[in-house]
Amino acid sequence: MIKDIQQKILDLKSEKDICILAHSYQAKEIVEIADITGDSYKLSVEAAKVQNKNILMCGVHFMAETAKMLSPEKRVYLSHPDAGCPMAEQMEPEMILELKKREPDRKVVCYVNTTAALKAVCDVCVTSSSAVKIVKAMDAEKILFIPDCNLGAFVQKACPEKDIMLLQGGCPVHAAITRDELLEAKAAHPNALVLVHPECRPEVTELCDYAGSTSDIMNYAAKSDAKEFIIGTENSIAEHLQYRFPEKEFYVMSKRLICPNMKLTTLMDVYKSCLEVGTETKREIIMEQELIEKAKVCINEMIRLGG
């Protein structure tokens, strides 16, 4: 059954000239039929290079919006119309404009997990894999980092030469994980290395063996000689790694590390999305040209400084 649906998707993909981009948190059966899979940075870079007429993003809304900004001439669709990222909605542009008035010499760095309207008032965009590199490369000493204060604290620690101001925001899934949960996982698997996403709280990242983006965690596990790993990011990553490296053991750090928004998309949604490509559908990302122009500035800056 799964194979049949996957084949139908592959047929529709070539018939309708669709490129499927999938975030690594998507289910295995979706990752298998995607043209490109990766973390937020890879998806942004690859979205700008797509040659197909249509892009289907399997992930959450800001990812599809970013793809639309980078390829405005393409029709871009989101696999599930209700898949949003709560962090992306946490701050209003007006609030940042107000702060900019009070701190005019501070450059605003926004995490890619933000709405286009918020990106439009920021100077540079970053992803978790590029944040440290970009902040270091910026020609500014005073920075306001939004919205994720945990990723911001991670960048602060790596860039002591910068004056980085943070606001209270973050990923409700990663930030919910406690130091005790990490310690419990370590007690259960004392020989395992702990790999954690920087969206987790500093009290968690400071106890890990390695902190990095989704792709950084996967690459670290791939290259490491260690045999056991505790994965401190969305639980799909432990599952994908286990399939790729059956000779190693991957444990989830917490059963609670599940993003309900990333998990909304099913293979059937991907199939239905492909059927709807080219029609009027609520899955299509429609954006004003003016908003695209304004928000794209900080995404282009991310690609320039992070490339």
Q: Is 262 in the site for ligand SF4 (CB under 6 A)?
A: yes
Structure tokens at 162: 């910068």
If contact means CB under 5 to 8 A according to the sort of partner, which of ligand SF4, ligand 13P, none does residue 213 touch? ligand 13P
φ, ψ for residue 175 (rounded to 5)? -70, -15
Cα gap 57→151, rounded to integer Å: 24
From start to end of 25-179, where are the E strands? 36-38, 54-58, 75-78, 107-111, 124-126, 142-146, 163-166
CA dist 62 to 85, 108, 111, 196, 250, Å?
Answer: 7, 18, 11, 23, 29
Binding piece for ligand SF4, criterion CB under 6 A, among 128-136, 160-168, 171-179, 214-222: 171-179
Q: Which long-range contacts (CB under 8 A, 24 or more apart) does 7-15 make?
A: 8/271, 8/274, 9/33, 9/267, 9/270, 9/271, 9/274, 12/271, 12/274, 12/275, 12/277, 13/274
Nearer residue to ligand SF4 within complex by CB, 33 or 85 = 85
Cα gap 303→307, rounded to integer Å: 5
Binding piece for ligand SF4, criterion CB under 6 A, among 129-137, 157-165, 167-175, 292-300: 167-175
Q: Are 49 and 30 in contact (CB under 8 A)?
A: no
Q: Is 113 in the site for ligand SF4 (CB under 6 A)?
A: yes
**Residue in this structure with the two tokens 């649906």, named with its chain if needed:** 5
If contact means CB under 5 to 8 A according to the sort of partner, which of ligand 13P, ligand SF4, none does residue 253 touch? none
Q: Is 87 in the site for ligand SF4 (CB under 6 A)?
A: yes
CB of 158 to ligand SF4, least distance (A): 20
Q: Is 254 in the site for ligand 13P (CB under 6 A)?
A: no
CB of 193 to ligand SF4, least distance (A): 22
Q: Which of 259, 270, 299, 305 binds ligand SF4 (CB under 6 A)?
A: 259
**Residues between 178 and 217 that touch ligand 13P (CB under 6 A):** 199, 213-214
**Residue in this structure with the two tokens 């998806």, named with its chain if needed:** 43
Q: Is 85 in the site for ligand SF4 (CB under 6 A)?
A: yes
Nearer residue to ligand 13P within complex by CB, 199 or 284 = 199
Q: Is 215 in the site for ligand SF4 (CB under 6 A)?
A: no
Q: Which of 113, 115, 150, 265 binds ligand 13P (CB under 6 A)?
A: 113
